[in-house]
Structure 1
Amino acid sequence: MQIHPTGFMAQFRHDCDVALPMLIIERTMMSRYFTLIGSVVAVVLLAGCAAVQVREDGPATAQKRTTGFMGLGTKDDVEVSYAPAFKGVTRVVIGGFKVGFNDSKKFSQTSSGILSPATTATALVDLEGIDSSVQQQITDKVYEEFVSYLKQKGFEVVPREQFTSTPEYRAMTQSEFPFKVDQSGIFSSYGVGYYYSPTQIGNKQIFFPGENDADFFSTFGGTSSMQVSDKFSQDTDIRVLGVSLMLDFAGASEGAMFSSTRLEVGQLMSVDKGQIIISRADKGIRTAQTGTVTLGQPVISDKPFAKITNMTSDGDVAMQATANAFVGLLQGGLMGAVSQQASQTREFVYDADPAAYTEAAQEALDKANDMLIDKMAELRA
């Protein structure tokens, strides 16, 4: 089929008359769209509104842990579970002793305004300058002082071999140390730490409840570390102690006003988690309760030990703000763009001095040990 030239030109002019204005309108709208995004980002960047900041005037503030209805109560410094397990105890054996060191972590704070989408401030922090030998030395020293303070408070500490040489203990699967504790998730490398075992104990131990949930049942038939420990105590009247402490290096304070979110990170040496679990010697019909003394609040050292550097470049900041503003504009117009661009992720490196880190770590760990042992001694009476 042939198309008459006159008809072809007429159709071409018609198509141009329709398509060209549409193209101009579309390009104009896109231009205005990106101009608006750029304006939103520029205003906020020029205002210097950083949602994630570093505390420069001292260590971060330890956040109080709450309990009860709507978190209106405050946890005790040391909390007790099943106090009768500690009553009258004089002879103990250290079935396990572990010190964990957090090497990286993620802080996140989200807020939502009435008329705007939620915004999130995220800080990814990483500890550098501390190798495994430093953390091993800290562990060895803290274990030595733990045993010494137990004796000082009137406990007889029997050699571990009396417990570890039993057939029941030998049947348990022991983990090798340093033991990696990974709470990072699939898409993030932040949230990784390591448990260390004292050189005096060796590089293999069993785990007790509350230390590493995946390894509670670590032998044939599902026999737990507490079942083995309880049997030993029933046979000998020596109580088995499982001790674990987790040391942290960073803290953050959070605050939100209207639709903006603020997160301030800083150095904070603290024992974030600590417990002593004790075996039971009572026989016959008994409850399934386990005796523990546990830190209810973090135990801190105010000593500085690191220099904090923001590793997020200006280019990364601008790209992140632009991408967030674009998403916000699609979701909620101008208000959404302003709100969403405030969502920030910043990466920080804590460059620690080994000597200062060691001093701060030992201070916090010694405080935590003393508090836990003091509570044990109090419950013994």
Structure 2
Amino acid sequence: MNPFIVYPVIGLTVLLTGCAATGSSSGNDVSTSNIKSLEDKNEVYIGQFAVTFVTKDKGSATSQSPMIRGGGSEYAQSVLVANLKGIPNSTFQAIADQAYRDFVADLEAKGYTVGDSNDLKKVSEWNELEPLATPYTPSGLSNLMSTSSQETLTFAGGPTTLFATPQQPGQITPLPYQLADLSESVGKPVLAVNYAVHFAYFDSDTDYTVNYVEEVPQGGGASTTLSASVTLGQGIQVISGAIAQFLVGPTGTFSDNGYVQLTSPVIVGGAYGRNEDTTSDSQKAANALSSALGFFSGKSSKTTEISVVANPEYYQYGALKAIDEANNRIAHELQPKK
């Protein structure tokens, strides 16, 4: 999934004005499978709670000349690279830990007893799983084979562990179905929750709009200048596809295992940092050369790099606000029958 939609205009001006996950996300926009499997289950374990943070993304668009019948071979290509800067790993980890605690609290409020996931490590089947070091970032062969434009970091929340899926090297989701053996051993459902948080959103349709200077006061107070530029809008979102999977028994075609998944993103609008044009001198030179050559060939391209230099406290506030709502929507569907 590429969350950027770039609309080309004359002169290769880069306007990043949309998101693949646009549309109203009001209400409880989720899809579910086999929820009835949890109706008589009042105790669960959380084996994995993973929060993936997108730290780099890009979008591109190509515009062909309307003056040439059939489109011709003339074109102008525009590429925008966006980066998230200024967030230490300690902030990412703090967000993941707080998100885990919030999810546990939501489940408990629905009537569940949430077992200590450390108890799962006492089950023999635990040794058959493949834990990942955190923070996890795709690397090696799996990263080279990926077609995604994103760079990400994934953190495990609370006492949970990240697992690789043997059939899909480098993947965090779906959860490894060896957890089904753990579920059978402990006699209770085992959950794996996986969220992805993006640092940008480019539309007016948001769930919340935050004035960070007012809501998260700091020493700079109202004099702090934060703004989202024309070329890259700021916003924090839990992207659609966030999922809580649960295992209640053996896997297979007629399995009772299931999930709750967001079908719409949770979006928090508001400027949480400052935008900087970080296009390198060499890239600017390449852009100029392409423009000059395009005068003769009809083909030109331009790449611009924008970095959001974030205030860590503001980013944490916005990310947790988005994740809290995602937790609410998913936990709402997981409520057991009394």
| Normalised TM-score (structure 1) | 0.65
Deviations 1:325-379 (A, max 9, x none): 525733xxxxxx2xx33x32101111101111111111011111111111222x8
Contact 1:93 1:241 in 2 (8 A): yes
Match of 1:233 among 183, 186, 198: 183
2:245 maps to what in 1? Answer: 277
1:102 maps to what in 2? Answer: 54
Contact 2:12 2:77 in 1 (8 A): no
2:227 maps to what in 1? Answer: none
* Structure 1 residue runs of 4 or more that deviate by more than 4 Å after TM superposition: 60-63, 182-190, 313-319
Pairwise mapping of residues 166-315 of structure 1 onto structure 2 (< 5 A)? 166-181=123-138, 191-198=150-157, 200-201=158-159, 204-207=161-164, 213-214=168-169, 225-226=176-177, 228-252=178-202, 264-272=231-239, 273-281=241-249, 287-288=254-255, 290-312=257-279
**Aligned-CA RMSD value:** 3.7
Deviations 1:69-105 (A, max 9, x none): xxxxxxx821223444444332110011111111111
- TM-aligned CA deviation for residue 161 of structure 1: 3.2
Structure 1 range deviating more: 162-171 or 89-98: 162-171
Cα 1:380–1:271 shift into 2, 3 Å: farther
Cα 1:132–1:124 shift into 2, 3 Å: same
Unaligned regions of 5+ residues in structure 2, if any? 1-8, 204-229
Unaligned regions of 5+ residues in structure 1, if any? 1-46, 55-59, 67-75, 218-223, 254-262, 331-336
C-alpha separation in 2, matches of 1:85 and 1:109:
45
Count residues in correspondence.
Answer: 291
1:52 paired with 2:14, answer yes
Deviations 1:35-94 (A, max 9, x none): xxxxxxxxxxxx99452147xxxxx6554469xxxxxxxxx8212234444443321100
Larger radius of gyration: 1
Structure 1 range deviating more: 157-166 or 321-330: 321-330
Cα 1:152–1:186 shift into 2, 3 Å: closer
Match of 2:314 among 356, 364, 380: 356
Identity over aligned pairs, percent:
22
Classify the secondary structure of the residue corresponding to 2:254: coil
| Normalised TM-score (structure 2) | 0.73
Higher helix share: 1
Contact 2:12 2:76 in 1 (8 A): no
- TM-aligned CA deviation for residue 177 of structure 1: 0.8
- TM-aligned CA deviation for residue 250 of structure 1: 1.7
